[in-house]
Amino acid sequence: MQLGPRVQTHIDFMKDGKQLGALDVPHSRNDSAWGAVMVPIGCIKNGEGPTVLLTAGNHGDEYEGQVALTRLLRRLDADDVSGRIIVIPALNLPAARAGTRVSPIDGGNMNRIFPGRRDGNVTQMIAHYVETVLLPMVDVALDIHSGGTSLEFVPSVVMHHLADRAQAKSTYEALKAFGAPVGLVLEELDSAGMLDVSVEEKGKIFLSTEVGGAARVGVGALEVAERGVDNILKHFRVIPGEPDVRGDTRLLDVKDRSHYVRAPASGLYAPRVSLGDWVSEGDVVGEIVDVRDPTGPSRELVAEASGLVWGVRALARTEVGDTVTVLASELDPTRLGV
Ligand SMILES: [Zn+2]
């Protein structure tokens, strides 16, 4: 016998109207024997149409999407919608409340844990609910990420290289409609356990983002996220109107490990380039300064590839091996096979 999820909710996803509630995730602990983690969720449904799943707080210290989706739930009503929008502003709620990337309860990284486990820890149970209850209903999923505490990115909408041409074309059309300054096409170094792959493997449309970061909510990053969410809903005709796209989305990709500049030593990271700068192979992008060793050798960081400075480390204190700069190259859309 197939057991249903242990996560429960009062929301009826088949019912028309606007419902706000929670995913009730059992969490028995010393100070609450029959306790639960209550993950906020909203469902806004009106008649027939596609189902769009909007998530943020997959990583708890990425705040722009959490703000954008909470405000979306406040302002959208069922009358505005044709179809169904399911919104989870803080998918890994314990991490979001702690302001950490992973859950403080069980150490779970939500984006490395799909398809989750029915009898797993809190993070695994949430993933299992998304996988087994929500994804079968979903046509389109948008998961809003950003640089979190340690990184900051040029606000970008993100898709993967996809083998299926029709799926790649539909995803690319949605990426353009999102309307971010940069559209990044990723080949994940390690895709095991990602929500992204779980959605893509079901043949559905998936987009994520990397908007802003540095443990804050930047004006520009939030604007890109909020307009992007509206644009996706408009693109799939779930809310009325045409996507408000301001200028072309510059298509880039992060080709391989040569595009990640990593610290060769521990110390303070002093960048010489800013987000959005163009660097050529051999350029110095920054320096690691060790305050204990003023007579020691200069630890300059040299770009091993040419590209746009797409991501930078947001923290000065740096350990050997930390990524301090991410470079992105121009990408010809024909390489997507669309
Ligand atoms: Zn993230």
pLDDT digits (tens, 9 = 90+) for 294-313: 998 889 999 999 999 999 99
Q: How far is the CA of 90 from the centre of ligand 1 (A)?
A: 12
Judged against a pLDDT cut of 80, whether residue 138 lies above it is answered with yes
Query: Are 94 and 36 contacting, i.e. CB atoms less than 8 angstroms apart?
Result: no
pLDDT at 336: 85
CA dist 299 and 142 (Å) reads 40
| Residue scoring higher pLDDT (228 or 189) | 228
Q: Give the tens place of pLDDT for each residue, 167-200.
A: 999 999 999 999 999 999 987 777 889 999 999 9
State in Å: Cα 146 to ligand 1 middle: 6
Instruction: Tell me how far the alpha carbon of residue 282 lies from the centroid of ligand 1, in angstroms.
Output: 30
Q: In sequence order, what are the residues at sequence separation of 6 or more whose Cβ sits closer than 8 angstroms to the Cβ of residue 194? A: 111, 112, 114, 188
Query: Separation of 250 CA from ligand 1 center, angstroms?
Result: 21
Looking at every residue in the chain, the average pLDDT score rounds to: 95
How far apart are the CA of 239 and the centre of ligand 1, in A? 27
Least Cα distance to 205 among 173, 243, 229, 239 occurs for 173
Q: How far is the CA of 334 from the centre of ligand 1 (A)?
A: 28
pLDDT confidence of residue 97: 98
Using the mean position of ligand 1's atoms as its centre, give its distance from the Cα of residue 183 in Å. Answer: 16
CA of 101 to the centre of ligand 1 (A): 7
> Distance, CA 269 to ligand 1 centroid (Å)?
22
Rounded mean pLDDT, 21-25: 98
Q: 191-209: b or e for each residue (b if 16 or more CB lie within 10 Å)?
A: eebbbbbbbbeeebbbbbb
pLDDT of res. 2: 67
CA of 296 to the centre of ligand 1 (A): 36
User: Given a cut of 70, is residue 1 above it in pLDDT?
Assistant: no
Q: What is the pLDDT of residues 240-261, one digit of tens each?
A: 999 999 888 999 998 888 999 9
Summarize the confidence of residues 109-126 as an average pLDDT: 97
Q: Cα(66) to centroid of ligand 1, in Å?
A: 12
Q: Find the 292 Cα to ligand 1 centroid distance in Å.
A: 34
Please list, in sequence order, all residues whose beta carbon lies within 8 angstroms of the beta carbon of residue 58, skipping any fewer than 6 positions away.
91, 92, 110, 111, 143, 145, 195
C-alpha to C-alpha distance for 59 and 85, rounded to whole angstroms: 21
How far is the centre of ligand 1, averaged over its atoms, from the C-alpha of 208 (Å)?
9
